[in-house]
Structure 1
Amino acid sequence: MRRWLGLLLLLPALLAAPRMALAQATAVAPPSLSVELSTRRIEVTTAFSGAEILVFGATERLIGPLGDEVLVLVTGPETAMMVREKTNVLGFWINGDAARFNRVPSYWALASTRPVPAMLDRVERADLRLALDQLPLVQLGSQGAEFRQALAGLQQEAGLWVDRERPIEVSGGRLFHARLPLPATVAHGIYQVQVMLVRDRRVVARQELRLDVVRTGSAAWVADIARNQPVLYGIACIVMAGLAGWFGSVVFRRN
């Protein structure tokens, strides 16, 4: 009798155990974020005039000020760049001090559902480097801050650094998409697309996608010669420039 009484007392706990386990599993389940690119490969030909990166996805919760927020950060392959200061000497502009920057992202663009300072605190923004002034550039040579500002200005003017936060469009409360422009001068290589889900001023989920920008056709052929046989490439450029000048002089002389 006592054994049956003990089993009856344990029965409610046994029935509640699966529900408790399910509740605990639900509590620790990571936030849901599904993202994709419209294309994983962009081909650069001689007629390439630019393109755009289309990122789209969905979240499990509503997107908005009282719900989740979304960030999209796209970075291109790193390169090295030189910034020179022009100095006026007796009416002539000559090269002055110079700074070399290593680990420069050839492309950097940000999109978000709201301004980043309204979504993340200062420490989180610094850790994720969600601003141009937080990029980990290695500066050699002259160390003035004006060289870094000049570099940022040149890249922004070329459309390679998109520092203005482009809005992410939301449909149906949970679907989103972002369009980021790629100029015609974009570098070829592997691009990293990061999509971050923000909740309570913290990044709670993240997905990374790969985008390949490749040269094809005659553009790839010319690039290969310039990289692998620079002497031959230089001679060919000189010969073509000479022929163009000769042809122009013949045409204008006849006229």
Structure 2
Amino acid sequence: MPAPPPAPPPQPAAARPPLVAELSHTRVEITTGFSGTEVLVFGATERLLGEGGDDVLVVARSAVPEPMVVRRKTRVLGFWINGASARFRQVPGFYLLTGTRPLHDMMEEEERRTKQLGLEHLQMAAAGNQDEEFRAALLQLKQSAGLWHEEDEPLRVSGARLFRARLPLPATVSTGDYRVEVMLVRDGRVLARQELGFTVNRVGTAARIADIADERPVVYGLLCILLAAFAGWLGSVLFRRG
């Protein structure tokens, strides 16, 4: 009898990716009662995280930058009026950075600047006035509104390889697409990265009100005036009866 054909060689096992990440949800819906929410980023790494091991860095931002004007208030004859201003052509409406350690402990200054990581290295070119004071004012405004964060508190690590991070979205968050970059950092360098995304949309009554405001601003303005007048009249009637 002829000898049986030799068995095929075993297939090499697929290499495990050094980093795997996912989002808790990819769609955030804004209703009339929306008061903010959070998106959870979670994942795992091949090597251990923490001291002597790898680091994970998470950066979330709005996908499309937006222009913004910062004005200095000037007091003239007892009145506050708009003074000098700076127009920033492209700034992220939302920006959040967090990691297993503070960013300055993970990477050297040159690496952070090259990759534009951290609030101090955001690209915010101003048209007209180049005074550093306006950049500082923009930074303060965004941080006060809860739209820009650079978290010093590390993201949560479990079992030395599993991680999760919270991305808080305030009630003032804008609609649109958002990009989340999850990076694996080793010896101060980005070894691997994964890009995720989610969308913020208005739904229900909030969406209809926004559509009227965008498409028919005059009608929207008249409706606001009528509602304010009705609220004032109703309040006066109730207080008079009381």
Fold shared per TM-score above 0.5: yes
Q: Which residue of 1 aligns with 2:35?
A: 49
Structure 2 CA distance, aligned partners of 1:227 and 1:124?
42
Structure 1 CA distance, aligned partners of 2:38 and 2:139?
21
Question: Residues 141 and 230 from structure 1, CA distance in 2 versus in 1: closer, same or farther, beyond 3 angstroms?
Answer: farther
**1:156, CA displacement in angstroms?**
0.4
Structure 1 CA distance, aligned partners of 2:152 and 2:40?
15
Structure 1 CA distance, aligned partners of 2:162 and 2:79?
57
1:168 and 2:149 are equivalent in the alignment: no
- How high is the sequence identity, in percent, across the aligned residues? 56
Aligned partners of 2:103 and 2:118 also within 8 Å: no
Q: Which residue of 1 aligns with 2:199?
A: 212
Structure 2 CA distance, aligned partners of 1:230 and 1:95?
25
**1:78, CA displacement in angstroms?**
1.9
1:1-26 Cα deviation digits (max 9, x unpaired): xxxxxxxxxxxxxxxxx9xxx8xx99
AA at the equivalent of 1:62: L
Q: Which residue of 1 aligns with 2:67?
A: 80
**1:177, CA displacement in angstroms?**
0.6
Aligned residue for 2:171, secondary structure, equals coil
AA at the equivalent of 1:211: F
Aligned partners of 1:31 and 1:204 also within 8 Å: no
Q: Which residue of 2 aligns with 1:35?
A: 21
Aligned residue for 2:151, secondary structure, equals strand
Question: Residues 194 and 166 from structure 1, CA distance in 2 versus in 1: closer, same or farther, beyond 3 angstroms?
Answer: farther
1:248 and 2:235 are equivalent in the alignment: yes
**After alignment, is 122-131 or 149-158 more displaced?**
122-131
Which residues of 2 match residues 55-134 of structure 1 at below 5 A? 55-76=41-62, 77-134=64-121
Gaps of 5+ in 1: 1-17
Structure with greater helix percent: 1
Which residues of 2 match residues 128-207 of structure 1 at below 5 A? 128-207=115-194
Gaps of 5+ in 2: 1-8
Aligned partners of 1:110 and 1:165 also within 8 Å: no
Structure 2 CA distance, aligned partners of 1:233 and 1:87?
32
Aligned residue for 1:75, secondary structure, equals strand
RMSD of aligned Cα (Å) = 2.0
Question: Residues 205 and 37 from structure 1, CA distance in 2 versus in 1: closer, same or farther, beyond 3 angstroms?
Answer: same
Question: Residues 190 and 244 from structure 1, CA distance in 2 versus in 1: closer, same or farther, beyond 3 angstroms?
Answer: same
The alignment's TM-score, normalised by the length of structure 1, stands at 0.85
Q: Which residue of 2 aligns with 1:7?
A: none
1:202-229 Cα deviation digits (max 9, x unpaired): 0010000011111111111111111122
1:128-153 Cα deviation digits (max 9, x unpaired): 21121211123123221111111110
> Larger Cα Rg: Structure 1 or Structure 2?
1
**After alignment, is 84-93 or 148-157 more displaced?**
84-93
1:60-84 Cα deviation digits (max 9, x unpaired): 1000121110000000142222211
Aligned partners of 1:110 and 1:166 also within 8 Å: no
Structure 2 CA distance, aligned partners of 1:177 and 1:144?
39
Structure 1 CA distance, aligned partners of 2:224 and 2:153?
40
**1:30, CA displacement in angstroms?**
8.6
AA at the equivalent of 1:175: L
**1:31, CA displacement in angstroms?**
5.4
